[in-house]
Amino acid sequence: MKLILLGAPGAGKGTQAEVICNALNIPAISTGNLLREAVKNGTALGMEAKTYMDGGKLVPDEIVINILKERLAQDDCQAGFILDGFPRTVPQAETLSQMGVEIDKVLDIEVPDEKIMQRLSGRRVCEGCGASYHLDYKPSKVEGVCDKCGAKTVQRKDDHPDTIKERLQVYHAQTEPLKDYYQQTGKLVVVEGQEEVAETSALTLKALEA
Ligand code: ADP
Ligand code: ZN
């Protein structure tokens, strides 16, 4: 199964990607995590991506596409995968299709902008493995420590309020048109993000059967 998760920043794509990953045993691929890894490793590509990411802008298509191609070429992706945060522009979606990748379903997780602000400002991520937490909705067992790997959890630079606003604008302008794009292929399924993570997860799993 080849899946795409669409949704605003903070809609919970990462969390739902993990739910699907556990249910279907296919890898979740987050271009945001791949980019942050490149930044952390100080690669040339990472250094270029960083300025865009810190400002809440999209990283140029060419860079993201290269990073994604490399990841999809790995063995664990051959049986399927979940794309979290890619495509994010129509040209990226067109490239994916030109690559011959046949997507089975696109899950669009809908969450209103007001909720997004609240969610992203409380978000914390693990420096070690990239796992995502929320101070109120999904706290780690020990505050500031990752449940999975024991590394420190921190606030992402782009989760500060001004940058969140910029990211939402970018989402509406550049990513939201993908809803129409995939609606036209008949592959779009809308999942309404719920207050409780477990409820959204149940809707996600149901959407996979639809
Ligand atoms: P979120 O969905 O919460 O905004 P991500 O971790 O998916 O967070 O992305 C963080 C940043 O990485 C984005 O703001 C953008 O700068 C960059 N990025 C990730 N995926 C893409 C993509 N497909 N195209 C362009 N930039 C991307
Ligand atoms: Zn961790």
Distance, CA 181 to ligand 2 centroid (Å)?
Answer: 35
Least-confidence region, from 24-28, 128-132, 142-146, 199-203: 128-132
Kindly state the DSSP code that residue 128 receives in the 8-state scheme: T
pLDDT at res. 78: 92
The model carries a pTM of: 0.89
pLDDT of residue 152: 98
Q: Are strands 132-134 and 123-126 parallel, antiparallel or unpaired?
A: antiparallel
Q: Look up residue 184 and give its two tokens.
A: 């036209």
For range 174-200, the mean pLDDT = 95
pLDDT at 93 over 90: yes
Cα→Cα distances 98→22, 128, 141, 175, Å: 29, 34, 44, 19
Q: What is the mean pLDDT of residues 20-39?
A: 95
pLDDT level of residue 162 (50, 70, 90 thresholds): confident
pLDDT at 168 over 90: yes
Neighbours of ion ligand 2 (CB under 5 A): 126, 128-129, 131, 146, 148-149, 151
% of the chain residues with pLDDT over 90: 86
Residues forming a β-bridge with 30: 84
Phi, psi of 80 (to 5 degrees): 140, 175
| Rounded Cα gap, residues 97 and 93, in angstroms | 6
In ligand 1, the atom with minimum distance to the C-alpha of 171 is 4
207, 191 Cβ separation under 8 angstroms: yes
Q: How many CA atoms, within 13 angstroms, populate the side-chain half-sphere of residue 204?
A: 32
CB-defined site of ligand 1, < 6 Å:
9-10, 13, 30-32, 35, 52-53, 56-59, 64, 85-86, 88, 92, 158, 167
Mutate to test the pocket of ligand 1, among 5, 119, 158 (most ligand atoms within 8 A of CB): 158
Domains in the chain (CATH in brackets) are: 2-26+79-209 (3.40.50.300)
Write out the two tokens for 206: 């149901």
In 3D, which of 112, 94, 119 has the Cα closest to residue 184? Answer: 94
pLDDT at 89 over 90: yes
